[in-house]
């Protein structure tokens, strides 16, 4: 009985001692959507849909940037916070002014607004915005 207790104690000590070592290991590689190094995936973008001063839903957009020029891609990575802010502003303008609740969202208008925001923030053309998904979650 004492031998079994010692074995369990040693196993527990080894298990708990190894946990912080495993947690401190190298971070897992970021999962890429595509093998292309030219594509930059954007985190999900959202905007609140309002009508008559009340919330009627949520607009959710997934997008990415296709940038062939390495210098421009590095610039876009460095300006990512500004790009996200410009995208949030553009989506909020669309959701609050152009979108009519109950209708299908206009993906072309959204893409054009986000592309204009991209060109404005980067200060040049060359980054192509690609939409992956446009979804409206209506509030019941």
For 89, the token pair is 């502003």
**CATH number, domain with residue 73:** 3.30.479
Is 24 domain-assigned?
Answer: no
| DSSP assignment string, the chain | -HHHHHHHHHHHHHHHHHHHHHHTSPPPPPPPSSS-TTEEEPPPEEEEEEETTEEEEEEEEEEEEEE--HHHHHHHHHTHHHHHHHHHHHHHHIIIII--TTSPP-HHHHHHHHHHHHHHHHSSS-EEEEEEEEEEEE--
pLDDT for the residue numbered 4: 45
In a domain, 110, yes or no: yes
Mean pLDDT of the chain: 83
- Confidence at 18, pLDDT banded by 50, 70, 90: very low
Residue 26 lies in a domain: no
**What's the domain count of the chain?**
1
Comparing 16-20, 44-48, 83-87, 92-96, which segment has the lowest mean pLDDT? 16-20
Residue 4 lies in a domain: no
pLDDT band at 40 (very low <50, low <70, confident <90, very high): very high
Greatest extent of the chain over all pairs of C-alpha atoms, in Å: 75
Q: What is the pLDDT of residues 92-134, one digit of tens each?
A: 999 999 999 889 999 999 999 999 999 999 999 999 999 999 9
According to the model, what pLDDT value does residue 52 have?
87
Instruction: Please check the confidence at residue 29 and state whether its pLDDT lies above 60.
Output: no
Q: Over pLDDT 90: what percentage of the chain?
A: 64
Q: How far apart are CA 79 and CA 77, in angstroms?
A: 5
Specify the higher pLDDT residue, 43 or 32: 43
pTM, to two decimals: 0.74
* Parent domain of 127: 39-138
pLDDT of residue 10: 44
Q: Is 48 part of any domain?
A: yes
Position 32 in a domain: no
């Amino acid at each position: 009985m004492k031998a079994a207790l010692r074995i369990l104690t040693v196993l527990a000590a080894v298990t708990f001692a190894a946990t912080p070592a495993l947690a401190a290991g190298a971070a897992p590689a970021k999962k890429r959507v595509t093998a292309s190094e030219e594509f930059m995936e954007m985190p999900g973008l959202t905007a609140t849909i309002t009508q008559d001063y009340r919330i009627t839903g949520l607009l959710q957009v997934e997008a990415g940037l296709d940038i062939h020029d390495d210098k421009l891609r590095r610039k876009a990575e460095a300006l990512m916070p500004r790009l996200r802010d410009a995208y949030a502003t553009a989506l909020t303008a669309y959701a609050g002014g152009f979108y009519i609740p109950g209708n299908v969202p206009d993906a072309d208008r959204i893409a054009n607004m986000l592309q204009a925001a991209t060109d404005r923030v980067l200060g040049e053309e060359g980054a192509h915005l690609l939409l992956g998904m446009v979804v409206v979650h209506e509030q019941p």
